[in-house]
Structure 1
Amino acid sequence: MPSRRLTLAAAMAAPLAAPRPGRTQGFPQRPIRVFCTGPAGSSTDLPLRAVTDFMARRLGQPVIVDNRSGAGGALAAQAVVQSRADGHTLGNCTVSVLRAAYMTPSVTYDPMADFSYVAQLGGYTVGIAVKADAPWRSWAELMDWARAHPGQLIYAASGIGTGGHIAMEIVARQAGIEAVFVPYRGSSDVLGALLAGSVNVISDGAFWAGAVRDGSLRLLAISSSARRIPRYPDTPTLNELGYEFDGTASLGIIGPHGIPEEAARPLQVAMREAMQDPGVRAVFDRFDLTPGFVDGPDFDAAMRRIASQERGVLNTLGLLRGAAGRENR
């Protein structure tokens, strides 16, 4: 059963005779539901809950996070598409939501026609890590071993089409290695698989950060940025290592196509304020997400640019199989 959490603080507050300063009249008229692409407790779920908790206080209505993990984010995205475009149903969006439509024949939505891009909240850190007791102390050592042992590099990522998956597929192609991909439902499962020895490499969002800090894992490369991450100054990026790859991994909010401005604007104001809140930013920092609010029109433009780029990447990798990918070539 999908995990649900109801943000109750605002719902329990006593009604006021007049709206508080900054509170929007007319919207929202009822609780807001936000479909989450990750399972409960994941590096997408917990930051999203921090934002929705703030939004509930700001907007004066409960905000419900409804976890619909799986299929590279397509399950949550499909639930968004099937909802009324009145601003009361939203979902989080990652690049994997775009990729799912381009990679998977059974996915029926078109990410460029069926969504309203409400706002970007920030960006993920995606990295490639191994256990601390693994024999590879550097990226070069891992690649040398992989070339000498074809098919024995077994890596995990949290779903097909996620940033971690595509990064390793590009690495395998450009480095001339043979790697085996094992998809998992969420980042906690990915981390557990590595620690249990079921796989020998993970390529995923920074749910691994705590294990890197406590010395259980060794971070070998960052795939989501062209520049080194300040928290990991000794870890090179894939670009730095010579790979041609744009691993930008944004976390944003979408709704069904056609959300009216009178609903979109209060949502964007609440999200902008959330991303300035120290408590929200602390949760983002815990998972190495970089806060970075981008309003609707600019977020829409960015996602269209990324979509065009992703179709090209997936076509090169031989993964462009979805209906949306074929129609938009």
Structure 2
Amino acid sequence: MTTVTLEIAEGLAREAITVWGFDAATHLELLKNRENFVYRFDSDHRPYVVRVHRQGYHSDAELGCELDFVRALHAEGVAVPEFIAAPDGSGFVVVGAESAVGPHQVDVQRLIPNRGMFGDERTAVAGTADLEPSDFTALGRLIGELHAATERSGYAMAVSRDDWDLEGLIGSEPAWGDPLGLTELVGDERATVSRAIERVRGQITAYGTPPHRFGPIHADLTPENVLRTETGLVVIDFDDFAAGWHLFDLATALYFYTPHPRAADYRSALFAGYEAVRPLDEADHEVFPAILLARGLTYLGWSADRRGEPTAEWHARTVLPHVVRLAEDLIAD
């Protein structure tokens, strides 16, 4: 398979924006190159974003489902991106069918003016992130609004995606790979994590999947996927959206901050913000440590399958001890 270089990705983006009637020769500014290629461009003094999706991550039907979900949230007033429909009414186009790299999905959305991301995973884990509990109160409120809007809208998954259910988290073939496949996880630590996985399985099974606990979620609410704007926080990047436990979004928002010296304050503030919008019960609070560990395990599995990539190596060498600590805490309870 031919590697998608920056030059190729830019060509795909230029081909795509012409479908919307934009000038193919317009200046494109690379904003992000991680899983997708994301560019900014301006037309008629309005800023836009064009996103070239990684090939094969989602089918056309799955991506259409994702964009429908974001549009449903936007219609309910949740702070999320605004996608621009293509002339045929679809949320994206497919270009590059005749190119060496093959077809790629591309969407266009309005640029969200912002003052940067909510935070950074690495400073969160290092404990150097300079955030206040009030930041997490605002984030918790936004997550609560997202879940409440999903329920109000009556949105239902149109097609199946890789759900964040028990099988997707810690089943025989987890969605993001086997956490026990990480080579650094050996000896007593491996045994601890294995025992904790069984504890997670039992607790989450007992917790169940009633609609007020389980449904469509963002599933990747990391600090990098929340923008700070003049009017408040905005959630972006719904690539991993699927059905899962609502608490999984809270766990993702908090996960990288668990080693932080102010982790307890951040957690209390996050839950306070969320419960101001959408109350939780005792069972939600009791199962949260298990779901928090399950979130951590997904990153271990992801890293095991991507050895050599800088982020995977960071998880394997730096974040792993914190996951083991979460496992120890869960077993000790």
TM-score, normalised with respect to structure 1: 0.28
Structure (1 or 2) with the greater helix fraction: 2
Structure (1 or 2) with the greater strand fraction: 1
TM-score, normalised with respect to structure 2: 0.28
Greater relative contact order (Cα < 8 A, sep 6+): 1
